[in-house]
Amino acid sequence: MRSGLAFSLVALAAVAGAQTKYDAQVKALTDKGMHELGAYSLLQELSGGIGARLSGSPEAAKAVEWGKTTMERLGFQNVHLVPCMVPHWVRGAKEDLTMTDASGATAPLTCCALGMSPGTSDEGVTAEVIEVHSVDEANKLGDAAKGKIIFYNGPMDPTMMNTFGAYGQAGGQRFVGPLTAAKLGAVGALVRSMTMDPDDAPHTGVTEFGANDPKIPAVALSIVAANSLHDAMAHGPVKIHLTTHCQTLPDEPSADVVGEITGSEKPNEVIVMGGHLDSWDLGRGAHDDGAGITESLEALRLLHDLGWKPKRTIRVILWMNEENGGRGSAAYVDYAKTASEKHIAGMESDSGGFAPRGFGVSLTAKKARALNKWLPALSNFEIERFYPGGEGGADVDGLADVHATIFGLIPESQRYFDYHHSSKDTIDKVNPRELEMGAMSMAMLAWLISEEGVPKP
């Protein structure tokens, strides 16, 4: 790459960003944001410093304290906690998974217990494996599943260009596959990791058992392990021996962290933005969702330090317990339902700290067109469009109940599931500039809503 193309792109940038009445604000945000890269500094404290922070853990408690202290230090107003009780699941000692193939040869397989799954007995479980590729296929097993270990091996569809779509499609195997197997009388469940990166790191995540449901041990296999098991099964029946040590302890007290800049003209109209403070216990919760937390904090910091006075209240919420319960989200929605103030918009970043591409919005295509006037002001941060009919994220979607218009930051999606819920979700995978672009996108959109209001769903 040499200078010719480079110089031409200076001109291209000018073409892309037509003049708008927000040009001065865009420039001020950009100058401050890109020189200071404040979101990344915050991520170093949260993901680097505190690390993994699963609900109920000491690290999650530290993260709450850090969130509150940070908001106070940054000069936010009305900093407070919204308390909630959260599940307290612990992984315990390292899982052990061994397969014995038709020839009698044994081999270890890399796995990790799924969140909220029960542990095995100390002796573990041993059973023959049946491979399926979807929950539907498992359901069709009927009595054949009894006493067996069900192996969900349906891959994420590589032809779905937005990887979140592929996750949604394959993810049912993890969300409800183990429960489905339990109801059929299976004694364990193995789930191919929800990733397209073909390496040996397993990706955890929640699996859903109701209070009165039968429960069985359930683990995610790394892609290498899933492929090995599949290959072994081509030569005859394979037996699995699995030991896990997870436990679900009594609920723990925890909290959402809340702070704001109170509106100068309509303080009673509230724009919420945030991400979730908890993370899985593997890795260090950098993209999921340290990114959303630090983008949101940085967005409000930028507005605060630039001295802008929003007409409406702009509030940051660091939600607790997105990963395995949604208790923090529910607690805030409960508050919002009885509050005298009016939540006009909610915005979440929970798709990683990659370069932004757009915002999903809970409006019809027709109503969403009214937002296109804002695209020139957002284009400097690489926001290309609003995606109508979208949700915002698991934490913020509940604010639809109080008639808020919901937004979700949509970054570039290709790398997210390489790291998601695995030991690889660490800060070295986050580019400081891309993260700051997310923060600036959120700051600008919050500012625009504060200035002009927003269409109702």
What are the residue numbers of the active site? Answer: 322
DSSP 8-state code for residue 284: T
Q: How far apart are the first and last CA of the chain?
A: 46
Binding a second copy (rule: CB under 8 A), the pick from 256, 260, 278, 434 is: 434
The answer to whether 397 contacts a second copy (rule: CB under 8 A) is: yes
The answer to whether 389 contacts a second copy (rule: CB under 8 A) is: yes
Q: Which 3 state secondary structure label does DSSP give 101?
A: coil
Q: Closest separation between CB of residue 432 and a second copy, Å?
A: 9
Binding mask 436-455 for a second copy (x = CB under 8 A): -x------------------
The answer to whether 7 contacts a second copy (rule: CB under 8 A) is: yes
Compute the distance between CA of residue 299 and CA of residue 312 in angstroms, rounded to an integer. 15
The answer to whether 15 contacts a second copy (rule: CB under 8 A) is: yes
Query: With the C-alpha atoms ordered 288, 294, 297, 300, is the resulting torsion angle positive or negative?
Result: negative
Q: Closest separation between CB of residue 105 and a second copy, Å?
A: 31
Q: Find the binding residues for a second copy in span 244-263 (CB under 8 A).
A: none
Sheet with 188-192, edge to edge strand ranges: 106-108, 96-100, 239-243, 125-132, 149-152, 188-192, 218-221, 111-113
Contact stretch for a second copy (CB under 8 A) within 79-87, 124-132, 181-189, 381-389: 381-389
The stretches of 207-290 forming alpha helices (DSSP H) are 223-233
Q: Closest separation between CB of residue 298 and a second copy, Å?
A: 15
Binding a second copy (rule: CB under 8 A), the pick from 209, 323, 371, 378 is: 323
The answer to whether 350 contacts a second copy (rule: CB under 8 A) is: yes
Q: Find the binding residues for a second copy in span 289-318 (CB under 8 A).
A: 289
Do the Cβ atoms of 269 and 344 come closer than 8 Å?
A: yes
CB atoms within 10 A of CB 224: 16
Q: Closest separation between CB of residue 111 and a second copy, Å?
A: 21
The answer to whether 328 contacts a second copy (rule: CB under 8 A) is: no
The stretches of 339-401 forming alpha helices (DSSP H) are 365-368, 375-378
Q: Find the binding residues for a second copy in span 118-157 (CB under 8 A).
A: none
Which tokens sit at 442?
A: 């959120």
The answer to whether 366 contacts a second copy (rule: CB under 8 A) is: no
CA distances to 55, 102, 285, 439 from 382, rounded to whole Å, are 34, 54, 24, 12
Compute the distance between CA of residue 418 and CA of residue 194 in angstroms, rounded to an integer. 9
Binding a second copy (rule: CB under 8 A), the pick from 185, 394, 451, 453 is: 394
The answer to whether 9 contacts a second copy (rule: CB under 8 A) is: yes
The answer to whether 48 contacts a second copy (rule: CB under 8 A) is: no
Which tokens sit at 436?
A: 């700051």
Q: Quickly tell me which residue has 């397969």 as its tokens.
A: 99
Q: Peptide bond preceding 289: is omega within 30 degrees of 0, i.e. cis?
A: yes
Q: Find the binding residues for a second copy in span 179-198 (CB under 8 A).
A: 196
Binding a second copy (rule: CB under 8 A), the pick from 393, 445, 446, 454 is: 393
Contact stretch for a second copy (CB under 8 A) within 70-78, 185-193, 260-268, 388-396: 388-396
Contact stretch for a second copy (CB under 8 A) within 62-70, 135-143, 250-258, 354-362: 354-362
Decide whether 255 or 406 has the Cβ nearer to a second copy: 406
Cα dihedral: 168, 446, 317, 417 (round 10) = 30
Do the Cβ atoms of 145 and 186 come closer than 8 Å?
A: yes
The answer to whether 269 contacts a second copy (rule: CB under 8 A) is: no
- Name every residue whose Cβ is closer than 8 Å to that of residue 354 and which is 6 or more positions away in sequence: 287, 411, 412, 413, 415, 416, 431, 434, 438
Q: Which 3 state secondary structure label does DSSP give 261?
A: strand
**Counting Cβ atoms within 10 Å, is residue 103 exposed (0-12), middle (13-18) or buried (19+)?**
exposed
Amino acid at 55: S
Binding a second copy (rule: CB under 8 A), the pick from 75, 108, 142, 165 is: 165
Contact stretch for a second copy (CB under 8 A) within 92-100, 223-231, 264-272, 352-360: 352-360
Binding a second copy (rule: CB under 8 A), the pick from 78, 140, 414, 452 is: 414
Binding a second copy (rule: CB under 8 A), the pick from 24, 105, 158, 307 is: 158
- Name every residue whose Cβ is closer than 8 Å to that of residue 29 and which is 6 or more positions away in sequence: 302, 306, 440, 443, 444
Q: Find the binding residues for a second copy in span 196-225 (CB under 8 A).
A: 196, 205-206
The answer to whether 172 contacts a second copy (rule: CB under 8 A) is: yes
Decide whether 200 or 452 has the Cβ nearer to a second copy: 200
The answer to whether 159 contacts a second copy (rule: CB under 8 A) is: yes
The answer to whether 418 contacts a second copy (rule: CB under 8 A) is: yes
Q: Find the binding residues for a second copy in span 56-115 (CB under 8 A).
A: none
Binding a second copy (rule: CB under 8 A), the pick from 119, 202, 408, 438 is: 408
Do the Cβ atoms of 256 and 81 come closer than 8 Å?
A: yes
The answer to whether 360 contacts a second copy (rule: CB under 8 A) is: yes
Count of residues that bind a second copy according to CB under 8 A:
74
Decide whether 19 or 338 has the Cβ nearer to a second copy: 19
